[in-house]
Amino acid sequence: MGDIRTKEVDDLLAVLAALDDEDAIFALLEDLFTIREIRETSQRLAVARLLSSGKSYAVIEDATGASATTIARVSKCLSYGAGGYAKALAVLEDLPAE
């Protein structure tokens, strides 16, 4: 993964870390990604949340529309990844309930 961490990636990380307005972040996401990419990325986070709460693949497929392959990929990242999902889920846990 070291090949991925370039100056350009570090610049993107710096921008994302500095933005504190959800509308500005969303505008950047709209400019950077296709609608499909935004939806798929958001879906993966929803899958991670459901996996971490112990839901079955069948329940997750029904709830999110994610394929078994996507669910398996997210599950693998939760178990053996860099810890990004765990940090994101911790942020979501700290958000006030809707």
What is the per-residue pLDDT across 1-30, written as a single tens digit (0 to 9) for each? 568 999 999 999 999 999 999 999 999 999
Same domain, 67 and 97: yes
- Give the pLDDT of residue 66: 98
What is the extent of the structural domain holding 62? 36-98
* Token reading at 59: 């329940």
pTM more than 0.85: yes
What is the per-residue pLDDT across 32-42, written as a single tens digit (0 to 9) for each? 999 999 999 99
Alpha carbon distances (Å) from 95 to 18, 48, 49:
19, 16, 14
Same domain, 6 and 48: no
Residue 47 near residue 78 (C-beta atoms within 8 A):
no
Same domain, 22 and 64: no
- Give the pLDDT of residue 31: 98
